[in-house]
Structure 1
Amino acid sequence: MTFRNIHFVASTGALAREALARLSERYGQSAIDDAEVIVALGGDGLMLSALQNTMDRKLPIYGMNRGTVGFLMNNYSEEDLFGRLNSAEAAMIHPLRMRACREDGSKVEALAINEVSIIRAGPQAAKLRILIDGRERMSELVCDGALVSTPAGSTAYNYSAHGPILPIKAEVMALTPMAAFRPRRWRGAILPHEAHVTFEILEVEKRPVSASADAFEVRNCTRIDVESALDVEHCILFDHGHGLEERLIREQFV
């Protein structure tokens, strides 16, 4: 596809706002309804936000790093943007769907491109019961938390928690504990992408937890269900030769 109509979005940082002004003037700023592609200027946080906010439009998103980490972003340059867009490699990813139940009985649903994380919200360690496809796999995990990660998000929070980096085309997700106290030597699991993961929170009042789908947080949870949202697909564009698969491989050798 040949892209000509660009809609730019930017984070609130000074570098991103300056880039937005210059690129909009040079390449034009199409209304979102007329756009063929979205160019996101910022860091990975902005990319995740842009994917969430434009999900219903099904437009590809090309990021340029005007933030901090920028794993999901391309290098920033104001030159030949149309050429870069039209030769870019597309990565198709499925997010995770989180359904969280709270103490008051309410339920919250959210999508996560990177990971769903469960984190203790008090001074004591969390106690979690883990079920996979309705079958108990761990009766009690005592920990600071746990997370379920997509391949695209496996180099982020998951990797910092010593979880595995997953190939982008692998139809799996990573279940990774954070600071596990008991069982001490459990390092997590790699699950098929169609698996349904359930975390039941034990001793809720004494050991409260919060659940986050990327940056969206739900407090006072009693149960969190996580599964791949196979009905939702995001398209991220990368410069030719620097696609997401190459980035995931490269990350393992640094």
Structure 2
Amino acid sequence: MKPARIAIYGRFFNTSVNPFVENLFAYLRSKGIEVCIHQEFYEFLKSAGPCPIDLPTFRSYEDFPKDVDFMLSLGGDGTMLSAVSIVRDSNIPIAGINFGRLGFLANIPKTEIRQALEQIFEGKYHIQKRALLTVEADDRTLFHGENFALNDITVFRFDSSSMITIDARLNGELLNSYWSDGLIIATPTGSTAYSLSCGGPIIMPGSGNFVITPISPHNLNVRPLVVSSDMHLELTIESRSEKFILSCDSRSEALPTSTRLLIKRAPFTINLIRLEGDGYFKTLREKLLWGIDVRNY
């Protein structure tokens, strides 16, 4: 049975993709699909070109309709990460149409919107459950309660003057004191993002692991470390500027070095819609050119 109602989320994008958005709404209208849309994105669409009028809207997790069949994210991978902050623990699946460049999470090409939605409405897809991380501080609320990340939680130095020292304890035991520009704690989803560019390994979704990857460590013996997703990681930071930057996917804020952090697995997962034939290794080969060898062609 095809879904009766979907939610649409997006952010500002280049108007060159307007024809694809118009095609999407025309298709949904022809199928009689009820649509609700993110308020800010709706205002942008109405200013950018032709758009359906009088659609019901939502602004945040608080008024997000929990009776939709799935959320459709229009944009790139960054838009998908923002969509996670709206869906949170509602268990509403997310499908992403790629208007960006890489399209690792938002992996439906904009030229194949109708075909992809037909498959979804016909049930020709599977759900991938993706683990998240949470970060807490002992003296404050972080990110206005949006303290969870699908990709990674990262500690950076505040400025470019000098490196920082990050004392890390894993499940209460001293792990290491990292002299570096920062430290990335990544999920399997985030293992192909910033962590990968800093030398971290690729971790398959569902493997039950996270990876701790230092950023430009001042020690040749320090390497990324794969740990169980059941771990509790405590961090304290030393810096000459007495501040550091904490990022949580696309969100970041400056904190004093007196702030102690606790990082662990989030109590919920995110459900990503994956179409039939859309395998993880196929995505690695096509998006990251993983394992490409001219001798195979």
Q: TM-score, normalised by structure 1?
A: 0.88
Once the two structures are superposed, residues 223-249 of structure 1 have per-residue CA deviations (whole angstroms, 9 ceiling, x without a partner) of: 2221111x2111011221114464347
Residue 75 of structure 1 aligns with which residue? 109
Q: Which of 74, 97, 106 pairs up with 1:64?
A: 97
User: What amino acid sits opposite 2:173 in the alignment?
Assistant: R
Q: Which of 166, 179, 182 pairs up with 1:128?
A: 166
- Given that 2:188 and 2:207 are in contact with CA atoms closer than 8 Å, whether structure 1 keeps it comes out as yes
Once the two structures are superposed, residues 25-84 of structure 1 have per-residue CA deviations (whole angstroms, 9 ceiling, x without a partner) of: 221352363521111110001101111112243211111111122111222223334322
Q: Which of 71, 78, 82 pairs up with 1:49?
A: 82
Q: Which of 246, 255, 264 pairs up with 1:220?
A: 255
- Given that 2:24 and 2:114 are in contact with CA atoms closer than 8 Å, whether structure 1 keeps it comes out as no
Determine helix, strand or coil for the equivalent of 1:54.
helix
Structure 1 residue 171: deviation in Å?
Answer: 0.5
- Given that 1:88 and 1:240 are in contact with CA atoms closer than 8 Å, whether structure 2 keeps it comes out as yes
Structure 1 residue 126: deviation in Å?
Answer: 0.8
Structure 1 residue 144: deviation in Å?
Answer: 0.5
Q: Which of 88, 104, 107 pairs up with 2:125?
A: 88
The 5-angstrom pairing of residues 94-243 of structure 1 reads 94-100=131-137, 105-108=139-142, 110-122=147-159, 123-138=161-176, 140-181=177-218, 183-203=219-239, 205-206=240-241, 208-221=243-256, 222-229=259-266, 231-243=267-279
Q: State how far apart, in whole Å, the 2-side matches of 1:17 and 1:225 are.
A: 43
Q: State how far apart, in whole Å, the 1-side matches of 2:117 and 2:238 are.
A: 53
Matched, 1:6 2:38: no
Determine helix, strand or coil for the equivalent of 1:194.
coil
Determine helix, strand or coil for the equivalent of 1:30.
strand
Determine helix, strand or coil for the equivalent of 1:226.
strand
The structure-2 alpha-carbon separation of the partners of 1:20 and 1:233, relative to structure 1 and needing over 3 Å to count, comes to same
The structure-2 alpha-carbon separation of the partners of 1:42 and 1:186, relative to structure 1 and needing over 3 Å to count, comes to same
Divergent runs of 4+, >4 A = 15-18, 248-251
The structure-2 alpha-carbon separation of the partners of 1:239 and 1:37, relative to structure 1 and needing over 3 Å to count, comes to same
Residue 20 of structure 1 aligns with which residue? 21
- Given that 1:120 and 1:207 are in contact with CA atoms closer than 8 Å, whether structure 2 keeps it comes out as no
Q: State how far apart, in whole Å, the 1-side matches of 2:141 and 2:70 are.
A: 34
- Structure 2 spans left out of the alignment, 5+ residues: 37-63, 293-297
The structure-2 alpha-carbon separation of the partners of 1:16 and 1:136, relative to structure 1 and needing over 3 Å to count, comes to farther
Instruction: Give % identity.
Output: 22
The structure-2 alpha-carbon separation of the partners of 1:45 and 1:157, relative to structure 1 and needing over 3 Å to count, comes to same
Structure having the larger proportion of residues in helix:
2
Q: State how far apart, in whole Å, the 1-side matches of 2:88 and 2:220 are.
A: 39
User: What amino acid sits opposite 1:30 in the alignment?
Assistant: V
The structure-2 alpha-carbon separation of the partners of 1:65 and 1:167, relative to structure 1 and needing over 3 Å to count, comes to same
- Given that 1:124 and 1:207 are in contact with CA atoms closer than 8 Å, whether structure 2 keeps it comes out as no
Residue 36 of structure 1 aligns with which residue? 69
User: What amino acid sits opposite 2:253 in the alignment?
Assistant: V
Q: State how far apart, in whole Å, the 2-side matches of 1:234 and 1:16 are.
A: 27
Q: State how far apart, in whole Å, the 1-side matches of 2:276 and 2:103 are.
A: 17
Q: How many residues align?
A: 247
- Given that 1:100 and 1:211 are in contact with CA atoms closer than 8 Å, whether structure 2 keeps it comes out as no
Determine helix, strand or coil for the equivalent of 1:49.
helix
User: What amino acid sits opposite 1:131 in the alignment?
Assistant: R
Once the two structures are superposed, residues 68-118 of structure 1 have per-residue CA deviations (whole angstroms, 9 ceiling, x without a partner) of: 2211122222333432212122110121001135xxx43425000000011
Q: State how far apart, in whole Å, the 2-side matches of 1:195 and 1:78 are.
A: 40
- Given that 1:166 and 1:248 are in contact with CA atoms closer than 8 Å, whether structure 2 keeps it comes out as no
Question: What CA RMSD, in Å, does the superposition of the two structures yield over aligned residues?
Answer: 2.2
Higher relative contact order (CA 8 A, sep 6+): 1
